[in-house]
Structure 1
Amino acid sequence: MSMSAAAADYSFTRMTQAELDQVCLKHERLMKGIPGGMRAKLAWCDLSGLSMKGRVLKDADFTGAIMVDCDLTGAVLDGSNLYCVDIQLSCLKGASLRRVDLRGACLRGANLEGVDMFEADLREGAMAMPDKKTGLVYREISERASEAAYANLRGANLERSKLTGIQAMKADFTDAIMKSCNLSRANLKQAIMDNVDLEGANLSGADVSGASLKDAVLIGAKTDMWRVSQTDMTGVLTDKPVGQDITDLPYGNMLRQHALWVSTIGKEGTPSVFDKADLRGLKSIKGFNLAALSAKGAVFYGLDMRGIQLQGSQLDGADMRNCDLSGADLRGARMTRVRMDGANLEGAKLGALMIAKDRYMPADLSDGRMRNVNFTHADLRMAKLDGADISRSNMEGAQLKLEALENVICMGLRGKIAE
């Protein structure tokens, strides 16, 4: 039984936009410590079609509320009680719902693109309706799982969230962060889960029949008794090495020889080639000088690469998702079709490398997939970005000419670019 159906049997408090605005205003005053504030208590209210866009409603109470077709774009609802709410078809794009209680909630058809639902609870929930005359809870609705069928969760942060038994058939989780997420017994039939990070997630007993998990990360994931009939798992990254396992190579000596080759300008040492190698076993190559390294199609996933020097390197098609490349020097690197989703490139140099007087070699990131990347204060001057996708990335203080984004997919960018 949905909350909408329940509304037909019981009298919910219907609120106007003006009344809701007053409640939100008092709540925001409370959050700021301004006199006259009061916690928003919106339990058992009918808020259908109303707007709370951009409102700060941390720790508010929405228990059992009807919130169908609401505008919650960019709203902050951290820690709020959304137990068994009906939030179908609502827009929560870019909203923050960290550690919210969404047990038994209905999110069917909602737009949750880019929402932050870190440690949210979307497990089953039982519902009981209050009697306004007696004040007694007298009629129970049978326990139900949270529902997110057809919901748009592209780029959402669901890390460590509890989604046990959730009904999310045909939902779109593309690029979602679902690390250590509990999806046991979840119904994910025909869901789109391309490039989803499920590292350490629990998918035991989950049904992903007919779903698409192309390029998904399943490192350390529990998949006991899950159902994968007709599931597209092309390019899935697991604990199994991809290509040449680095542990099978004398990588220590190879790196030393490469560093010597760089420091002596080629007079000594030997350049290393790690094309199509799985480098995850290195754990950290922090501060290494690996200029002109060849690692085409190599897997760097999750490596600590802070301050690394990779000027002029050949990294076409490399998998550098979730790598920490803060302060890295990638000037002049060739990185066409690179995958860097979720990487940290704060303060990194991704511009042009001077190779002679008045002659520069720009970093080439053409057709790269770099969604949700931290480009804070990164130098991207003269970088080639044609065909790249940097959607939902943080560009605060990044040095970049706006013209360089002409042929770039850049939906939902955050931060102010420093041209």
Structure 2
Amino acid sequence: MSSIVSYVKLDSETLEAVLKLHERYANGIAGGKRASLKFVDFSGIDLSGRNLADAELTGCAFESAKLIKTIFERAILFACDFRKADLRGARMAKADMRGANLRGADLSHADLTQSDFREGEVAVADKKNGMMVVKHRMRPGDAEGTLFVGATLDGSQFNGVQAKGADFQDCSMKGAKLSGAILKDCNLAGADLQDADLTGARLEGAHFEDAILTGVALGYSKIDPKMAKGALGDPSDSAKIRAIQLENMANDHQAWWESNGSAGKHAKFDGEDLRPMASMFKGMRLTAISAVKCNGVGVRFLSTQLQGANFSEADLRGTCFAGADLRGANFTRARLKKADFRNAKLSPLRISADKTKATDFTGAEMRYANFDQADIREALFYDVDMLGASFRGAQATGAKRGKSPTAEDSGDAPAGSSAPEAQANAA
């Protein structure tokens, strides 16, 4: 089947008018109109920060465009050309990207949650007399050499994608569908691939050092052990058996706290693997538990009461603390990459009439952690790695960052410097 189409180039005034009408539509404001911009040439244009959520953008050309933090949530991006585009921090959750070309694009820290990047019927065109003669054929998405560093691809559909040499370092790819994908020479070091489907994927030369591989489906695909040093696999059989005892300990601790010590007993989860109990802690009262050096990767402490808890040196990558009460908790030297602290309480814990205990993250690794809308007043963030962490809307009065007061001065940020308000509202 063939057809004739031409790319449209909009003048700046027309484009701005369309964008403003669409932004009114996206924000539910009267008088708005959904943008329908099929086969428009946006090459090299700067649309950073604009809201194109739910827009119809089939077949558009965004080659080398500047799209930093642009909102494409649920947008129709079918067969779009994003080659060499700057999409850092773009929001593309649930976007239809079937057959799209991302070759050489930068999607560092972008959100592609549940996006669809599967094979699609795309237009292969040749220019003739200024027109496009188009033939339709099925083609997989192309992400060869693309940068996805720190991006979120949870639940995304990348089946059959051509992504040779792509960089997925530190990505969250929980439940991602990558069956049949070409991932040769990819960098997946530090990626969270819990429950991902890699059945039939080509993994020759792919790096998985320090990756989270719990529940990964490989089928006949193989990961080279030499390329997966430090990777975290499934819990051991003994850890699964031990989970029954740990569950009883958690229930006893809750009874101990609620009875003011007359029933149950204080729980210590030091060094334990908590992953087999990933969903049981939601809403529990686990105030003052000790979980030093525990493995809590991917565990959900949603709305759990954890005042004064000790998670020092724990592995808590991808752990959910959303809505939890963590006042006065100890996270010193913990691994908190991609941890979720949205709406969590992390302000000081009052111990007595004249004494409080600050929540302490000193020395923690918290790349890409999410503290949006959290209360981090007076929290300690000394010597932390917070690359890509988000603090949108966080209450940060009195929070401290920089060099630890106990560390020798090495010319870095001064000890005790207050975290600026701008940091709390950073995207």
TM-score by length of 2: 0.78
Give the match for residue 274 of structure 2: 279
Give the match for residue 425 of structure 2: 416
Tell me, what secondary structure is at the counterpart of 1:120?
A: coil
Q: Does 1:337 align with 2:346?
A: no
- Provide the rounded CA distance (Å) in 1 between the counterparts of 2:399 and 2:265: 40
- Provide the rounded CA distance (Å) in 2 between the counterparts of 1:268 and 1:327: 27
- Provide the rounded CA distance (Å) in 2 between the counterparts of 1:309 and 1:125: 47
Give the match for residue 6 of structure 1: none
Give the match for residue 396 of structure 2: 399
Tell me, what secondary structure is at the counterpart of 1:339?
A: coil
Q: Does 1:370 align with 2:366?
A: yes
Tell me, what secondary structure is at the counterpart of 1:251?
A: helix
Conserved 8 A contact 2:165-2:185: yes
- Provide the rounded CA distance (Å) in 2 between the counterparts of 1:69 and 1:165: 25
1:288-303 equivalences in 2 (<5 Å): 288-303=284-299
1:346 Cα offset (Å): 4.2
Q: RMSD of the alignment, in Å? A: 3.8
Tell me, what secondary structure is at the counterpart of 1:250?
A: helix
- Provide the rounded CA distance (Å) in 2 between the counterparts of 1:311 and 1:191: 41
Residue 383 of structure 2, aligned match among 380, 387, 394? 387
Residue 315 of structure 1, aligned match among 311, 316, 329? 311
> Deviations along 1:337-393, whole A, 9 cap, x unmatched?
213344443454434445567555433312223344443454433433122234332
Give the match for residue 60 of structure 2: 65
1:242 Cα offset (Å): 9.0
Percent identity over the alignment is: 32
Residue 175 of structure 1, aligned match among 170, 178, 198? 170
1:280 Cα offset (Å): 2.5
Conserved 8 A contact 1:52-1:73: yes
Task: Sort the Cα spacing of 1:250 and 1:128 in 2 relative to 1 into closer, same or farther, 3 A.
Answer: closer
Conserved 8 A contact 1:339-1:370: yes
Task: Sort the Cα spacing of 1:93 and 1:266 in 2 relative to 1 into closer, same or farther, 3 A.
Answer: same
Give the match for residue 189 of structure 2: 194
Residue 236 of structure 1, aligned match among 213, 231, 249? 231
> Deviations along 1:81-139, whole A, 9 cap, x unmatched?
322222111112222223333222211121212322233221223433579999x9965
Q: Does 1:49 align with 2:58?
A: no
1:155-170 equivalences in 2 (<5 Å): 155-170=150-165
Deviates more, 1:369-378 or 1:256-265: 256-265
Aligned residues: 404
Give the match for residue 406 of structure 2: none
Tell me, what secondary structure is at the counterpart of 1:157?
A: coil
Conserved 8 A contact 2:376-2:394: no
1:66-85 equivalences in 2 (<5 Å): 66-85=61-80
- Provide the rounded CA distance (Å) in 2 between the counterparts of 1:271 and 1:81: 53
Tell me, what secondary structure is at the counterpart of 2:401?
A: helix
Task: Sort the Cα spacing of 1:166 and 1:361 in 2 relative to 1 into closer, same or farther, 3 A.
Answer: same
> Deviations along 1:154-181, whole A, 9 cap, x unmatched?
2323222221111222222233232222
Residue 115 of structure 1, aligned match among 110, 113, 116? 110
Residue 212 of structure 2, aligned match among 194, 214, 217? 217
Conserved 8 A contact 2:309-2:329: yes
- Provide the rounded CA distance (Å) in 1 between the counterparts of 2:301 and 2:89: 29
AA of the residue aligned to 1:199: Q
Residue 39 of structure 1, aligned match among 35, 41, 60? 35
Q: Does 1:99 align with 2:108?
A: no
Unaligned ranges ≥5, structure 2 = 404-412
> Deviations along 1:289-312, whole A, 9 cap, x unmatched?
544433222122343434544444
- Provide the rounded CA distance (Å) in 2 between the counterparts of 1:145 and 1:66: 17
Give the match for residue 3 of structure 1: none
